[in-house]
């Protein structure tokens, strides 16, 4: 879309739609949010806002790593523009090297002088040959540059117990031992902090096609040799279920239990429900908009049902539910390698992100980490690159807007809202969550899922009184709006003031198809 046309649409949206909706129509009573500001107890872990980077397509090579000799500005081979963008969204934790890639990755191939590292075939993603120039040292350097804690997934599928044991020693031991001394030889004197470690990935599928019983036995074996060296304590994540495989969760909780700190869950949404033809990322109609959001809302059911099983074995909620792959998965962009999973990212994806993060926030007593797939150039990414070009996506902006929830205290809330109906089906028209930060500010994140109509919302603050409000909104004139290298600001946050303080809270007018953050002081 021509940038001037995009700017006109944005002007119409912000000056026309918002002005019109400030009338706070009488149907606001249909949408009522009650926030119990005096009942906050659980913390929203910052790790819910985690990211995922896999050796897949151009996520690592070209997206993160360009090499030290590249004309693209970099620090030790890592793109400066990507680092700067990621620091703005305060990435708390980054998962690597996969994904399916993890269970065919042998870490020794990615250390030492780069010219001497053996190449490998990426059999899962495009059959390309990669040179292993981005390995353990480069990944941990990248984490330090963006300020994220590393979450490494070990190779259980095709690797050995000894290989996994020695990788942990290589990274985290300060002893005068063979692996620690090998690390020193390769240029890293002090051990790294590696707080999170996954024991295999999707062991029910690409990670080994295992039964839950077989995986549970293997987990116990491998976990025995993952050591906590002085100064580093590992949060161990066991491979959990694919979507609604509740039996997998049952077996893992029963057979592994307290040997794990976290249990993973993977779930993606697409408009068709057909993983052969998933639908276009940009060429879609309202039917596909509705189906995608309806699929994303299923995350609540999955979290609740898996959590209920976990509660039977862990009433103290010591084991975290770790949703370390989630997001929207469409057909690849026309003309791109189908094994690279490169897709555009529209306002629809911003709503997928906003409502999903609201779900995680509301279930933060059990959900302790989540990692959207993926960081750069793959699936529902934060960033798109093409050689020296870079742009951030609508999903990136949602993560930036939602940083206010990181490590804040969840405020329990109840939402009554009108449904968004399409073709005889219905979903809630609004998604919401609320928290209070250390300074006492209350942050309310709201998504209007209806692409056609604004939503008038009445919010009651029980236990607090609003004296001053501020806000931001992410919206656009069309459902398909997205950022490109030629028009990188087609979708971006704007100031929001379509609200007014009331005696017991505030009223707000949410534009159609929008994500809104309101701060109450």
Catalytic (active-site) positions: 202, 325
Report the alpha-carbon distance of residue 55 to residue 339 in Å, rounded: 11
Report the alpha-carbon distance of residue 145 to residue 161 in Å, rounded: 31
The residue among 309, 295, 197 whose CA lies nearest residue 248 is 309
Residue-wise burial string across 114-130, b where 16 or more C-beta atoms lie within 10 A, e elsewhere: beebeebebebbbebeb
Q: ∠112-106-100 over CA atoms, to 5°?
A: 135
List the alpha helices (DSSP H) in 89-209. Answer: 136-146, 161-172, 178-185
The residue among 268, 243, 235, 263 whose CA lies nearest residue 373 is 268
Q: Is-contact 110 124, C-beta < 8 A?
A: no
Report the alpha-carbon distance of residue 394 to residue 346 in Å, rounded: 6
Provide the angle, in degrees to the nearest 10, between the axes of the packed helices 178-185 and 161-172.
Answer: 60
The residue among 134, 252, 260, 133 whose CA lies nearest residue 197 is 260
Query: What one-character-per-residue DSSP string does 276-307 give?
Result: SS---SSS--HHHHHHHHHHHHHHHHHHHHHH
């Amino acid at each position: 879309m021509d940038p001037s046309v995009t700017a006109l649409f944005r002007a119409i949206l912000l000056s026309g739609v918002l002005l019109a909706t400030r009338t706070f129509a009488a149907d606001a009573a249909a949408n009522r949010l009650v926030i119990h500001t005096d009942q906050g107890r659980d913390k929203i872990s910052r790790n819910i806002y985690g990211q995922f980077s896999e050796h897949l397509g151009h996520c690592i090579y070209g997206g993160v790593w360009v090499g030290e000799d590249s004309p693209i500005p970099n620090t030790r081979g890592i793109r400066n523009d990507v680092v700067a963008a990621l620091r703005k969204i305060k990435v708390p934790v980054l998962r690597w090297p996969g994904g399916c890639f993890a269970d065919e990755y042998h870490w020794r191939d990615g250390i030492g002088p780069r010219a001497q590292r053996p190449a490998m075939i990426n059999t899962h993603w495009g059959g390309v040959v990669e040179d292993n120039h981005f390995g353990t040292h480069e990944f941990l350097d990248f984490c330090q540059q963006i300020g994220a804690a590393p979450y490494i997934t070990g190779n259980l599928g095709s690797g050995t117990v000894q290989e996994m044991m020695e990788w942990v020693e290589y990274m985290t031991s300060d002893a005068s031992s063979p692996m620690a001394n090998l690390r020193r030889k390769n240029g890293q004197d002090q051990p790294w902090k590696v707080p999170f470690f996954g024991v295999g990935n999707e062991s029910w599928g690409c990670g080994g096609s295992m039964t839950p019983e077989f995986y549970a036995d293997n987990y116990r074996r491998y976990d025995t040799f993952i050591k906590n060296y002085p100064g580093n304590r590992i949060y161990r994540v066991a491979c959990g279920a694919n979507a609604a495989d509740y039996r997998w969760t049952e077996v893992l909780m029963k057979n592994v239990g307290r040997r794990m700190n976290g249990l993973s869950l993977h779930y993606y949404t697409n408009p068709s429900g057909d993983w052969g033809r998933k639908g276009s990322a940009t060429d879609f109609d309202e039917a596909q908009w509705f189906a995608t959001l309806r699929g994303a809302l299923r995350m609540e059911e999955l979290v609740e049902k898996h959590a209920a099983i976990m509660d039977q074995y862990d009433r103290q909620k010591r084991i975290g539910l770790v949703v370390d792959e989630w997001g929207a998965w469409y057909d690849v962009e026309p003309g791109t390698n189908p094994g690279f999973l490169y897709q555009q990212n529209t306002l629809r994806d911003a709503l997928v992100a906003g409502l999903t993060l609201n779900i995680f926030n509301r279930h933060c007593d059990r959900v302790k980490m989540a990692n959207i797939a993926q960081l750069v150039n793959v699936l529902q990414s934060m960033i798109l690159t093409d050689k020296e070009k870079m742009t951030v996506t609508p999903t990136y902006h949602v993560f930036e807007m939602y940083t206010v929830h990181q490590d804040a205290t969840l405020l329990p809330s109840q939402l009554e809202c009108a449904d968004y109906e399409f073709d005889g089906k219905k979903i809630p028209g609004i998604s919401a969550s609320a928290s209070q930060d250390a300074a006492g500010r209350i942050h309310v994140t709201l998504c209007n899922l209806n692409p056609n109509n604004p939503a008038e919302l009445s919010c009651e603050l029980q236990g607090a009184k609003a004296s001053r409000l501020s806000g931001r909104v992410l919206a656009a004139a069309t459902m398909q709006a997205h950022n490109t290298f030629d028009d990188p600001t087609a979708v971006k946050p704007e100031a929001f003031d379509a609200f007014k303080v009331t005696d017991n809270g505030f009223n707000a007018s949410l534009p159609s198809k929008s994500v809104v953050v309101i701060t109450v002081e």
